[in-house]
Amino acid sequence: MRRFFVEEKNIDGETVYITGSDVKHLRNVLRMQAGAKIICVDGTGTELTVALTEIKEQEITGKILSREKPAKEALVKVTLAQSVPKSDKMEQIIKMCTELGVAEFIPVTSERVVVQGDFSKKIERWQRIAEEAAKQAGRTVVPALKPAREFMALIDGLESWEKALMPWEAQKEATIAKALGNMKPKNLILFIGPEGGYSQDEAEAAESNGAALVSLGKRILRVETAAPVAVTLVMKEYGEL
């Protein structure tokens, strides 16, 4: 069955109200009629099997047939702090890392980031991409796109996470597995640099603020490769892959 994310405010008892762009998709693209069944996800981990009851131009109403709370989300809440790369690489990173289970994304401006300016419109687009990727992956929660942050300001607030990991090309020995150890944190922040990587000053500042500098292997990875590889290695340590 097709999957759609709905806000909690659009669920009233046993009735679901579908609004926005999903209405056009259901009516004009999928051409669904009353009686068709879909899966609605409320964003808190609950899947609703819904039978459509009324299809209007601006709103579709459905009746909840059943509720289920499958264990589809990762045991660890990973925040990906991604220094914004050029072109559409950020979109690719968001798609892949959403599929892998990242809980939220923070776009970051660091020393070697080329892309500058107002990210507000891009964040709106990136949020839609995360939602589509979450649908495709069968997730029950859509990763949040947080407002853009400056690198040095972000590392000053690492106490919000139990662990901070930062792959850095000059680090040759410490792995993600070693950095996590036997006691796995419930939430962590993972820093990924831009095309030019992090500077020496940024790496030293991150480490002095408690981030663990780690290696992703012997080879230098492209930015759009480094993020999903690092997330994969984290998820592997939690038995998520």
Cα first-last separation, the chain = 24
**Residue 128 burial (CB count, 10 A):** 14
Instruction: Provide the whole-model pTM.
Output: 0.87
Is it true that 3-68 and 77-237 share their CATH fold?
A: no
Residue with tokens 């109403």: 61
Beta sheet of 11-12, edge-to-edge order: 3-5, 37-41, 47-55, 60-68, 15-18, 11-12
Domain boundaries, the chain: 3-68, 77-237
Q: Which residues have a Cβ under 8 Å from the Cβ of 36 and sit 6 or more positions away?
A: 51, 52
- CA distances 3 to 49, 55, 202, Å, are 9, 17, 42
Helices (H), 15-88: 21-24
The CATH-assigned architecture of domain 3-68 is Beta Barrel (2.40)
User: Could you read off the pLDDT tens digit of each residue along the chain, which spans 241 residues?
Assistant: 888 888 888 898 899 899 988 888 888 888 889 999 999 888 777 889 999 998 988 899 999 999 988 878 899 999 999 999 988 899 999 999 999 999 999 999 988 887 766 777 899 999 999 999 999 999 999 999 999 999 999 999 999 999 999 999 888 889 999 999 988 999 999 999 988 889 999 999 999 999 999 999 888 889 999 999 999 999 999 999 8
77-237 has which fold?
Alpha/beta knot (3.40.1280)
